[in-house]
């Protein structure tokens, strides 16, 4: 636990750089979930297609959906390998849109919520510890030098940096501790575009209210506003845009219509689960309990994309449907707390009944830990020290430890014969007799087999630490056939690429990208 917000934080810094050569433009929102991440991803692909070297940047992200990077601030291990880092999934997708590998410098500060009042703080890929919200706000000035250093490193590799703000840029009561909105814009000398969301209503008030809350210098930094997620007849909304420009003095830069294929791209955080896509088919029924600290839920996207699969997120207050074929327990940032959620909702009873009736259960990462006999946290890594009984469906036990395991996987599963790519991202060690019956047998770089996960004697219950496993087309088809479902010829990665291309086209169709680029400085 981080208790001293003033303690100095060491990080490898760049030598003093000269004037920034890359152009940069910042997209700030009037609130969370206005579509900043998606718009930046579309702009990244659109400008990259024009031959520009584009990079994304978000100083601070709060999300339990994360991706592994090849770089980190940690020194090489005894094997000479540089440890992996992690950033928000949204910035990893934006990096993909740019055609480059994700880097810790694209999202130097990642907050992973663990309780209602605290989060795990990750700085440039390394875990600093857990922190209560009040302590973190006092700690943020200590993070600002690392944020600015990472921005300059990112800019040094680019012609254009597209910077994403966090939440609302008009939360002026947080101005003193700001490291990701107007404070960053000031220190890095960034022009700002304000993005409003008309789909939720109140776009007029949100834009005008943002202008009213910003001070004179901040307002002068805004080069215009964009309205996002529009549906309907634009002529009916144009008077509102004229009024917004009149009240703020900001130029109207355009309206982006609703993008129908947004669900085909990985979502940034659990806000997306308020309106989840439930798959395109009605053959195999998969139920996923919506845990309170659900993490890396995009593991389920490839299954939801299958034409013969229906993925249903089970909301609190709702039992797991009886017609369910497979229950999947997703990742979680707080395994023990979400085990308590499972029991409070009665999902544990539903799952045990489901298994007795011949149903299947799969656990991914924390979901794998929940399937065991017990989860122990003696150091209080994820909350209060203690232990919590698991579901007892696998003969394993887990102890949460302070060292995070970050591994990129690219191996052959000898059990299925399929190539498996993905990653591990967890704090904890699982052990027990159940591991002698692994779900996967991964072949490492030296050709040696490495058992991964566990499987019950009857094969109904399986679990592993591998994230992204269902994104592998051959493995997904093998798994679907194994659970009695029909496999398709879906190329999931091609589907994501097609959605990114369509998003870039959407940006080209709805915005004047030449005029927007001219605003970058």
Q: Single out the residue of 151, 119, 154 nearest to residue 135, CA to CA.
A: 119
Q: What is the phi/psi pair of residue 41, to 5°? A: -60, -45
Q: Which of 44, 131, 365, 418 is catalytic?
A: 365
Which alpha helices (DSSP H) does 214-346 contain, by range? Answer: 216-221, 238-248, 301-304, 335-345
Which phi-psi region, left, alpha or beta, contains residue 279 (left: φ > 0; alpha: ψ -120 to 50)? left
User: What CA dihedral angle connects 155, 95, 92 and 490, to 10 degrees?
Assistant: 180
Q: Single out the residue of 209, 287, 264 nearest to residue 42, CA to CA.
A: 264
Q: Which of 211, 467, 506, 507 is catalytic?
A: 467
365 is catalytic: yes
Q: Single out the residue of 492, 436, 428 nearest to residue 465, CA to CA.
A: 428
Q: Single out the residue of 439, 421, 415 nearest to residue 364, CA to CA.
A: 439
506 is catalytic: no
Q: Which residues of 16-43 are buried (b: 16+ CB within 10 A; e: fewer)?
A: eeeebebbbbbbbbbbebbbbbbbbbbb
- DSSP assignment of 80-125: SPPPPEEEEHHHHHHHHHHTS---GGGS-EEEEE-SSSEEEEEETT
- DSSP assignment of 307-324: TTEEEEEE-TT-PPPTT-
Which alpha helices (DSSP H) does 293-384 contain, by range? Answer: 301-304, 335-345, 347-356, 366-370
Q: Are 408 and 388 in contact (CB under 8 A)?
A: no
Coil, strand or helix: which one is 490? coil
Active site residues: 365, 467
């Amino acid at each position: 636990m981080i208790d001293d917000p003033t303690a100095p934080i060491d990080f490898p810094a760049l030598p003093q750089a000269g004037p920034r050569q890359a152009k940069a433009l910042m997209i700030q929102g009037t609130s969370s979930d206005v579509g900043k991440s998606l718009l930046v991803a579309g702009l990244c692909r659109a400008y990259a297609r024009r031959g520009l070297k584009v990079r994304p940047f978000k100083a601070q992200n709060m999300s339990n959906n994360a991706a592994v990077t090849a770089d980190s601030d940690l020194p090489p291990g005894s094997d000479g390998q540089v440890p992996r880092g992690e950033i928000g999934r949204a910035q990893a997708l934006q990096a993909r849109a740019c055609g480059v590998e994700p880097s810790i410098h694209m999202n130097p500060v990642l907050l992973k919520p663990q309780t209602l009042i605290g989060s795990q703080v990750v700085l440039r890929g390394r875990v600093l510890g857990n922190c209560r919200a009040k302590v973190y706000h006092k700690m943020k000035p200590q993070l600002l030098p690392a944020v600015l250093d990472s921005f300059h490193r990112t800019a040094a590799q680019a012609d254009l940096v597209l910077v994403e703000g966090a939440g609302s840029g008009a939360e002026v009561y947080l101005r003193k501790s700001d490291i990701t909105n107007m404070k960053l814009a000031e220190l890095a000398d960034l022009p700002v575009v304000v993005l409003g969301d008309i789909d939720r209503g109140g776009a007029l008030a949100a834009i005008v209210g943002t202008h009213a809350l910003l001070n004179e210098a901040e307002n002068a930094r805004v080069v215009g506003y964009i309205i996002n997620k529009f549906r309907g007849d634009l002529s009916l909304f144009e008077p509102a845009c004229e009024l917004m420009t009149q009240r703020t003095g900001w130029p109207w830069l355009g309206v982006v219509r609703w993008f129908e294929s947004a669900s085909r791209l990985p979502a940034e955080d659990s806000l997306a689960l308020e309106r989840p896509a439930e798959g395109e088919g009605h053959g195999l029924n998969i139920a996923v309990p919506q845990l309170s600290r659900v993490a890396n839920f995009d593991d389920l996207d490839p299954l939801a994309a299958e034409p013969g699969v229906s993925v249903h997120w089970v909301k609190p207050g709702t039992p797991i449907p009886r017609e369910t074929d497979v229950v999947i327990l997703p990742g979680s940032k707080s395994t023990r707390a979400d085990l308590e959620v499972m029991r409070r909702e009665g999902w544990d009873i539903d799952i045990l009944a489901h298994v007795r009736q011949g149903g299947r259960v799969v656990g991914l990462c924390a979901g794998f830990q929940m399937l065991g006999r017990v989860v122990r946290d003696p150091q209080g890594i994820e909350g209060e020290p203690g232990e919590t009984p698991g579901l007892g469906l696998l003969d394993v036990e887990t102890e949460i430890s302070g060292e995070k395991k970050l591994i990129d996987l690219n191996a052959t599963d000898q059990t299925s014969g399929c190539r498996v790519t993905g990653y591990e991202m967890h704090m904890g060690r699982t052990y027990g007799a159940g591991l002698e019956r692994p779900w996967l047998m991964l072949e490492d770089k030296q050709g040696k087999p490495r058992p991964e996960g566990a499987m019950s004697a009857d094969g109904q219950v399986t679990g592993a630490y591998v994230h992204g496993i269902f994104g592998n087309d051959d493995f997904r088809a093998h798994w679907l056939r194994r659970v009695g479902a029909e496999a398709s010829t879906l190329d999931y990665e091609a589907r994501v690429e097609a959605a990114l291309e369509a998003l870039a086209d959407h940006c080209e169709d709805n915005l004047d990208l030449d005029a927007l680029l001219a605003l970058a400085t």
